[in-house]
Structure 1
Amino acid sequence: MERLPDLPAGDVLDALRTAFTELAAGAAAQPPQTLTLLPSGGDVIAYQAVLGDAYGVKVSPYLPQPDGKGIVTAWTLLLSTRTGRPLLLCDAGALTVERTAATSVLAVDRLASPDAATLAVIGSGTLARAHLRYARAVRDFTSVRMYSPSLTPATVPEGVSVAGSAEEAVAGADVVLLCTSAAEPVVDAAAFRPGTVVTSISTNAPRAHEISPAALASLEVYGDYRPTVAGTAGEMVIAAEQGLWSAEHLRGDLPELVTGACPAPTGERPVFFRSVGLGIEDLAVARLLLEKS
């Protein structure tokens, strides 16, 4: 399968919510991602998971090229844990976009105030637009601002205003979605007002971080999966090495958030949610694809 069918945002969010609930109950398995370095340069990351009667693995190679722009692909395989037979093989590029955006917004739905009205999106590419679509499925935002150096009034999504800078976009926002490929901070997370929810995703850049590692100590920090996020997310790894923050301060992860097993934000500090990507997210969306096909 090379083209991803249209999947309603609500269906994807429900599939992820169910997957993380099963993971919390011990009815699913989420091993750490594995990184294989290639002798010729580059690497391959494998994301595995077991959910219900399906095993899934996504393999994502990063292949440096002489012209400086590396090749990144992703393929997802599902097979039955009852028969051992393959169920699905698909180009996971579009699937990864959907699960990444939906995972961020699943956290927003649990962490943001029910009356959150102002949204800022930093970035304007495919991932940023997917984040926007999912965010609109969980909150009725009355004001949406987007910033990217390449964004113009002619290319901005409907109902979104173009900000002149990242700082302008995030000023006074209730929710901030960071959707860039940056390897260094793009906003000052420590300057956000209490209760603001900020999400951040991973890129292929080594130790990539969209906020400053030093900011973590002033934030209420959540991640996608407690056993893996602190050892993978760039800002968390750097902050731990510098003695600025430790994984003990992680307030909760998605299995805990969807089941109410971790503390909710206090409203006293900004809230930061970090995702690094999980096999169970790929598997949940891939199973949904099977149902829709």
Structure 2
Amino acid sequence: MSESPPPYFDAAAVTRLLAPAAAVEALADVLREGLDPESCPPRSAVSVPAGELLLMPAAAGSWAGVKIAGVAPGNAALGLPRITGSYLLLDGATLQPRALLDGAALTALRTPAVSALAVRHLTSEERPLRVVLFGSGPQAYGHVDALLAVRKLASVTVVARDPGRAAALAGHVRGIGVPEVRTGTAEEVAEADLVVCCTTAREPLFDGRRVAPGAVVVAVGSHEPDARETDTALVRRSEVWVEARAAALREAGDLLIPEAEGAIGPGHLTGTLADLVRGPALPPPGPAPRLFKSVGMAWQDLAVAVAVHRAATG
């Protein structure tokens, strides 16, 4: 007698079952429990006519899983999501399937949760944050929700190429209770406590010299060695935090390009997300900005997928 197929959690189910705050805690928990992101298998990337296929496997504790994602730049013109894919969650001991999840929804949940976990440790709780947000796609929406799970926001300024999409995002943020929301320009990073970059840009979005002392910049938009959202000036003057040193030095163009220019060396990295979660609290921000560069890692998908499954099954 054949086993019944594993449950499928579509995008709506993933969003309904796990709130951003719970996703943040799922990531923090696996790091507190000793997971080593440095040992996480690297992602495999294969070029295909429509874009790129990504394979991201991971195993930890009693679980394993793999995300198969597609990055299709031409989808936007067709009214389709740029990121596609599925996540297969497996029993760690037998590798038997336990669930299938919508991969795009999982990515849209876990990437902002990673950023929010870093922001919780890199910023001060003393006052609400003034945010400049680059981007107007699903990650931009997700980042606002995740940031609100860890910090109060005084204002959000949306900077995006498409004025209509920027206005739509600003309206959404206004509707969920942020006191001051508007669209703006890249020059306004000078007034921000937190700058969030979640775009498809391949060149720097703003002049890093304008970022205020003690401000935090989060960059999540690329995982390619020749693409970046931040410039050399910002990287050189910042404390730099990453998910894992190996992944950052393999994939993060924001860091690899300045290194190739001779502006920084590998020792320029201050620390990792695990250091932030496990270590003592950081002192208040000093004169240097703090940059968190994320490339996205398979252990994060696994942690959030397990949390979704547990929420569904009790």
Provide the C-alpha distance between the structure 1 equivalents of 2:267 and 2:281, rounded to a whole number of angstroms. 13
Corresponding residue for 1:252?
Answer: 271
Aligned pairs (5 A) from 1:99-248: 99-117=110-128, 118-148=130-160, 149-150=162-163, 151-152=166-167, 155-158=171-174, 159=178, 160-168=180-188, 170-203=189-222, 207-248=226-267
Offset of residue 190 of structure 1: 2.9
Q: 1:205 to 1:28 in 2, by over 3 A?
A: closer
Corresponding residue for 1:281?
Answer: 300
Aligned pairs (5 A) from 1:65-80: 72-80=83-91
Contact 2:252/2:295 (8 A) holds in 1: yes
Amino acid in the other structure paired with 2:40 = Q
User: Root-mean-square deviation (CA), in Å?
Assistant: 2.8
- Structure 2: state its 5+ residue gaps: 1-7
Provide the C-alpha distance between the structure 1 equivalents of 2:298 and 2:127, rounded to a whole number of angstroms. 30
Match of 1:33 among 43, 59, 72: 43
1:230-253 per-position Cα deviation (integer Å, ceiling 9, x unaligned): 220112111121211122110111
Contact 1:22/1:28 (8 A) holds in 2: no
Amino acid in the other structure paired with 2:222 = T
Output the TM-score relative to the length of structure 1. Answer: 0.88
Provide the C-alpha distance between the structure 2 equivalents of 1:66 and 1:288, rounded to a whole number of angstroms. 30
Q: 1:106 to 1:54 in 2, by over 3 A?
A: same
The structure that is helix-richer by fraction is 2
Offset of residue 43 of structure 1: 3.4
Amino acid in the other structure paired with 2:307 = L
Q: 1:115 to 1:244 in 2, by over 3 A?
A: same
Provide the C-alpha distance between the structure 1 equivalents of 2:250 and 2:304, rounded to a whole number of angstroms. 25
Where 1:198 maps in the other structure, the secondary structure is strand
Offset of residue 21 of structure 1: 2.3
Aligned pairs (5 A) from 1:33-112: 33-38=43-48, 42-62=51-71, 72-112=83-123
Provide the C-alpha distance between the structure 2 equivalents of 1:138 and 1:62, rounded to a whole number of angstroms. 29
Contact 1:181/1:203 (8 A) holds in 2: yes
Provide the C-alpha distance between the structure 1 equivalents of 2:267 and 2:26, rounded to a whole number of angstroms. 29
Q: 1:166 to 1:101 in 2, by over 3 A?
A: same
Amino acid in the other structure paired with 1:189 = G
Amino acid in the other structure paired with 2:43 = Q
Amino acid in the other structure paired with 2:44 = T
1:23-63 per-position Cα deviation (integer Å, ceiling 9, x unaligned): 45x5995122222345x674322222212201111122345
Q: 1:67 to 1:78 in 2, by over 3 A?
A: closer
Offset of residue 110 of structure 1: 0.5
Where 1:182 maps in the other structure, the secondary structure is coil
Offset of residue 15 of structure 1: 0.1
Provide the C-alpha distance between the structure 1 equivalents of 2:216 and 2:34, rounded to a whole number of angstroms. 24
Corresponding residue for 1:8?
Answer: 19
Offset of residue 196 of structure 1: 0.2
Q: 1:261 to 1:253 in 2, by over 3 A?
A: farther
Where 2:118 maps in the other structure, the secondary structure is helix
Provide the C-alpha distance between the structure 2 equivalents of 1:17 and 1:224, rounded to a whole number of angstroms. 12
Of all paired residues, the percent bearing the same amino acid is 32
Offset of residue 221 of structure 1: 0.7
Query: Displaced runs of 4+ in structure 1, greater than 6 A?
Result: 64-71
